[in-house]
Structure 1
Amino acid sequence: MTPPSIRETHRASAPDGTVIVWDLRIGQPNVTRLPGPVLHSIEHALIAYLRRGSPAVIHAAPMGCGTGLYVVTTGALTFEQVAQFVADALEALLRATAVPMADVQQCGAAEYHTLSGAQEVARWLLLRRTEWAQASITPTTTAEEP
């Protein structure tokens, strides 16, 4: 897998439907991490703009390794739908004049943000949107045991 990419990493049945975890990979695992304030600012932007864009988006959260974010959705969404939601959120981030929810009432580290850094990564991701699908998971069948 070479970033940037979006791929489904987990699907589970829940009492109210299906929950899907999508991996939005920005940095190469074990090679490139995003600076903390950049990742934190992208997290805030995705939470704000993805939720406005679709009620199917539950949450966005940074990966502990610093190479991307998880986007959690409900319902049987396709890669194309999620990619469009993410692209729309990144476009909104490019138009932003401040990081969403980056204040002491809504953020435990309100000073740990960089709008310009997040916008630089958003531009980079959008320029490479055609690459996002290269890591999508294709359903596989398991060989039968003898």
Structure 2
Amino acid sequence: MAKVESFSLDHDAVKAPYVRIAGAEEGPNGDRITKFDLRFVQPNQAAIPTSALHTMEHLIAAYIRDYMDNVIDVSPMGCRTGFYMICWGERTVAEAADAITKTLEDIMKSTWDDVQGTERQQCGNYRDHSLWGAQAYAQEILAQGFSLDAFERQFS
């Protein structure tokens, strides 16, 4: 069985919110990807409610690409403490932190009309959304700021 990087992370030692590189890989043709841990709330102490996380997922998917090129995917963590983001190429923590900060600022200004993919045909759980919840968590995270180190509160 493969060893999964995120299960080796000491979740009690990290200090959210932070951005860290959770992995970088090179494919057989030399293509590189970078995987980020975008941790929004403190593991084992808080979890973002599903409806807020779901709406954040939809908004982040659209807005993040305005601030960072070559984003492949941004997916919520099952523990509901943040998201994983995968990008083409070698990317830095500072780039990702800047992009997610600007994205959360956009969420703060969003209206329901900005949330893409909320109709039954577009979403597998279209009834489980909360723009108000997404904005409340975005505001809380922005007030703290993203650390560029998972274990020490460090800012650029």
1:10 to 23, 26, 36: 23
| Identical-residue share of aligned pairs (%) | 33
Unaligned runs of 5+ in 2: 1-13, 152-156
SS of match in other structure, 1:132: coil
- The yes-or-no answer on 1:132 pairing with 2:147 is yes
1:3-35 CA-to-partner distances (Å, cap 9, x unmatched) read 111111111012362111111112222221111
Q: RMSD of aligned C-alpha atoms?
A: 1.8
For residues 20-65 of structure 1, give each alpha carbon's deviation from its aligned partner in whole angstroms, at most 9, with x where no partner exists: 1111112222221111111111111111111233332111101111
Contact 1:13 1:19 in 2 (8 A): yes
Aligned positions, number: 136
Tell me which residue corresponds to 1:121.
137
4+ runs of 1 displaced by more than 6 Å?
none
1:42 aligned partner, one-letter code: M
Determine if contact 1:51/1:58 at 8 Å carries over to the other structure: no
Matches within 5 A, 1:27-106: 27-98=41-112, 99-106=115-122
Scaled by the length of structure 2, the TM-score of the pair is 0.79
Matched AA of 1:2: K
Structure 1 segments unaligned to the other structure (5+ residues): 137-146
Cα 1:28/1:97, change in 2 over 3 Å: same
